Structures are given as structure tokens and as C-alpha cells.
Amino acid sequence: MTASPLVFLASRNAKKLEEMDRILAPLVPGVRVVGLDDLADLGIATYDEPVEYEPTFAGNALLKARAGFAATGLVSVADDSGLCVDALNGMPGVLSARWSGPPKSDARNNELLLAQLADVPDERRGGHFRCAVAVVHAGGELVVEGRMDGRIRRAVAGSGGFGYDVLFEADDHPGVTTAELSREDKDAISHRGRALRELAPLLAAVLG
């Protein structure tokens, strides 16, 4: 029996792992996505994640994918994504996950964002999610990007997704936050979904 092709996602974020596996499964048949917490079961030593010091999503994604490939030898994928708010000059951007300081907390990040936009009128609450996904393998490396436009709501709503999903209303699905969408609806419009669909045929070719 042929072993399933392995893709290493350089992350411990269980929701990101599940999301990537869900999106890639129908596009790259048989693929198995594993994360940092799966390495021991594969007989591969874990490693310290690199500090994300790059000023761009693509730079941070490549930084993490290169570290993953160097440590595991597996085809390695990493993403960096974040929310870019028009009224905050594109911030929090690459600082999205740690916007409210350590330790990382989605709830505190959302509270801080709401406070920063408290006096911003509805017509100026636009923004977008951006994602860069990098792949590093023995034959080289590549980066693809995706984007989802929308606006920032005034109160959290929904229990799906993660991060700022509870505050973000996508232009493609007005009236609800992306945390209120079904997985299928969110995957169809999300920044990560768009990037992974572009990546899938390239990844399939790499995996042979």
C-alpha cells in the first residue's frame, strides 16, 4: 500500500491544521497534513519555532517554512496571516496574533481592536484579511497569497473560526461575521482558502 503523502504545517494551531487539511483534501488526494505536535509520532525531533521578525506576511511565512524543512526534511508549508484595518493604516497586520501583547489571546486582541475603533464611523470600518502561504521543499520554494475584503463589526458574534473572525463581516457574505458562517461558506471566500486553492496544484506536483 502506498503511504499517504505528508505535508508538514509548521504550526501548533489545531484549527489551522484542521482547516488546511479540510481544504487540501479534495484538491490533493490522499494528502496528510501534520503539525509540530505530530513530529514525535513520526520519529522526528521537535524544534523551536523561529521568531517572526519579518515585516511582511510572505517574509514570515517563508521564515517558518524554511525552518520546518530544515528540521524535518518534509515538504513544509507555513502561513502568516492577519487583519489589516483601513482606519489603523493597515494595522494590526503582521502583528495581528499578538496585537494586545503576551500571552497571545484572541479575546484580548478583539477587545483592543474594538476599543481602538470605538469612535470610527461605520463607513470607515473597512479592512481585509490577508494570507501568505509558503512551501519549501528539496526542489525550491514558493509563496502564494489570498485576500478577503470586508468590514469590522461593533460587537463580537459567532462561535466558529478563530482570531478576529467574530468581528469581521466579509463583503461576500454581508450581515454575518465569518465566525457565523459554515465551514464550507467560509472556506469558499476566505483569504486562506483562496491561497490554498491556488497552492493545491503546485503542491500536488511537488508531492508527485
Q: Which cell numbers hold the place of 148? A: 478577503
pLDDT at 31: 87
User: What per-residue string of b and e applies to 88-111 under the rule 16 or more CB within 10 Å gives b?
Assistant: beebbbbebbebbeeeeebeebbe
Sign of the dihedral through C-alpha 203, 60, 64, 70: positive
pTM here is: 0.91
* List of residues 6+ apart from 21 with CB closer than 8 A: 31, 32, 33
Terminal-to-terminal C-alpha distance of the chain: 16
Q: Which cell numbers hold the place of 35? A: 503539525
Could you tell me the domains of the chain? 6-207 (3.90.950.10)
* List of residues 6+ apart from 48 with CB closer than 8 A: none
pLDDT at 2: 54
Determine if residue 191 is labeled as part of a ligand binding site. Answer: yes
Please give the average pLDDT of every successive group of 10 residues along the chain, which has 208 residues.
79 86 84 93 93 96 97 95 98 96 95 98 97 96 97 96 96 98 94 92 86
Determine if residue 15 is labeled as part of a ligand binding site. Answer: yes
Please state, in angstroms and as integers, the Cα–Cα distance from residue 171 to each residue in 63, 151, 193, following that order. 31, 8, 15
pLDDT at 78: 95
pLDDT at 3: 66
pLDDT at 140: 95
Determine if residue 197 is labeled as part of a ligand binding site. Answer: no
Determine if residue 104 is labeled as part of a ligand binding site. Answer: no
**Catalytically active residues, by annotation:** 80
Pairing of strands 140-152, 168-170: antiparallel
pLDDT at 171: 98
> Which of 138, 163, 8 is CA-nearest to residue 78?
8
